[in-house]
Amino acid sequence: MDTLVRRIEGQLEQLPVPVAVTLPSGRHAGKGHPSVVLTFRDWSALAVMAAGQIGHMAEDIVEGRIAVEGRMRDLMAAASALLPGSPVGSDTGWWTQVIRRARSITSHSPQRDAQQIQFHYDVSDDFYALWLDPRRVYSCAYYRDTGMSLAQAQEAKLDHICRKLMLRPGERFLDIGAGWGGLLLWAAEHYGVDATGITLSRNQHAHVQRLIEERRLQARVRVELRDYRDLDEAQGYDKIASVGMFEHVGLVNMPVYFGKIVRLLKPGGLVMNHGITAGGVGTSQLGAGMGDFIDKYIFPGGELLHVSQVLREAALAGLEMVDTENLRPHYARTLWAWSDALESQLDEAQRVLETTGRAGDAGKVLRAYRLYLSGSAMCFEQGWIGLHQILATRPDGRPETGSLKGAQSMYPFNRSYIYS
């Protein structure tokens, strides 16, 4: 035990922020005037810290084996320094791939996907409203100007997607994974499209339905509680967006997912796939216990692909990538904005979760989300995970389509239209 304590004391000396710890025996270690204080109630949790398993350390915090005092920003600065190395692996061995595929198969039936989506998104609408922007856009914002507020950056993101898709009045537009309706309603109100959104979250479906009725958009906007695999292919869509959704699809279902998009998209049409991507090639989650933490407490069944794998799967399905943009640092800033907003009203968040969410687990849920938001911000800053917007077309096979001979789609093969 003395060896373990000495190792912890050595770690504390190397951290970029002053951290103090209280051991289960009551003994104190670390620097005076600490920014972060960790109180260990279990010796096993101390061993986890000594090993640099920060994801499992986060689990100990959620379960109450470690108590934390201090800012999440300071805690994450310390956590990143505790890692023994990069958590981004690239284990592409055949056995690892077999296990990964087997896990993906069992995690992504339509019933399991619905349960997993509802586990996360149906925690409590009122809880999410505390720290999201007024439109409740729950995906990476786009800080076109550095002085933008979160709300402004989210509107900039919605418009950025609509511009990339070249939305036009009257076009049939599909939003796969419509969330609380931010993009669906922005596209309908600002670009005049006939818009359909789908979600597996009952809370989100009810919320968006209310917004559609309040704004009297029933004639050309609808939201359905539906799995993407069950969408009717009889009438194609001119434009399709999938924002923050394909992380839930699973490796094994990527051919199904992109194949469905191809069949839903009219020849010559455009699709925007906006989602989180893995930092390592061939891995689906971060190491050091971080991926395990996310899977257990936040996004069960979530899987990340490297952008190269996403592009390969899209191409195999028949889509042509025409533009790819990495918004990774934008997501770091977005997550810190969410984290800061939650940290500023912890008492209210606890009350909301006790009255509208999982009452018996309110404390655990709040601790998990505090770590998830700040930890994810750290991971995007470090480059351990990314965020890519991939714009693709379904070529129509006609050389005369488009602004250039051989374009085979409405995409002009010139980015100027997006930014003008």
Nearest CA among 239, 174, 184 for reference residue 211: 184
Q: How far apart are CA 191 and CA 201, in angstroms?
A: 26
Average pLDDT over residues 206-216: 97
pLDDT tier, 166 (very low <50, low <70, confident <90, very high otherwise)? very high
Cβ partners under 8 Å of residue 148, min gap 6 = 156
289: exposed, middle or buried (C-beta count within 10 Å: 0-12, 13-18, 19+)? Answer: buried
* DSSP state for residue 409 in the 8-state scheme: S
Average of per-residue pLDDT values in the chain: 89
For 290-317, how does the pLDDT look when each residue is reduced to its tens digit (9 = 90+)?
878 888 888 787 788 999 999 999 999 9
Domains annotated for the chain, with CATH where assigned, are 2-82 (3.30.1050.10), 97-419 (3.40.50.150)
Average pLDDT over residues 171-194: 98
Q: How far apart are CA 152 and CA 419, in angstroms?
A: 17
pLDDT-wise least confident of 48-62, 152-166, 199-213? 48-62
For 15-42, how does the pLDDT look when each residue is reduced to its tens digit (9 = 90+)?
899 999 999 988 888 878 899 999 999 8
Three-class secondary structure of residue 266 per DSSP: strand
- Supply the pLDDT for residue 117: 55
Q: Quick check: 98 pLDDT over 60?
A: no
Q: How far apart are CA 137 and CA 151, in angstroms?
A: 9
Provide the percentage of residues in the chain whose pLDDT is more than 70: 90
The C-alpha R_g of the chain, in whole angstroms, comes to 23
For 225-269, how does the pLDDT look when each residue is reduced to its tens digit (9 = 90+)?
999 999 999 999 999 999 999 888 888 899 999 999 999 999 999
Q: How many CB atoms lie within 10 A of CB 29?
A: 17
- Supply the pLDDT for residue 109: 61
Are 104 and 295 spatial neighbours (Cβ–Cβ below 8 Å)? no
Structure tokens at 179: 């969330």
pLDDT tier, 14 (very low <50, low <70, confident <90, very high otherwise)? confident
- Supply the pLDDT for residue 60: 94
Q: Quick check: 410 pLDDT over 60?
A: yes
Average pLDDT over residues 195-212: 96
Q: How far apart are CA 39 and CA 44, in angstroms?
A: 13
pLDDT tier, 284 (very low <50, low <70, confident <90, very high otherwise)? low
- Supply the pLDDT for residue 112: 59
Q: Quick check: 85 pLDDT over 90?
A: no
For 359-390, how does the pLDDT look when each residue is reduced to its tens digit (9 = 90+)?
678 999 999 999 999 999 999 999 999 999 99
- Supply the pLDDT for residue 286: 72
- Supply the pLDDT for residue 96: 45
pLDDT tier, 103 (very low <50, low <70, confident <90, very high otherwise)? low
Provide the percentage of residues in the chain whose pLDDT is more than 90: 67
Q: Quick check: 90 pLDDT over 70?
A: no
- Supply the pLDDT for residue 92: 46
In single-letter form, the type of residue at position 9 comes to E
Q: How far apart are CA 256 and CA 23, in angstroms?
A: 51
CA atoms within 13 A on the CB side of 207: 23
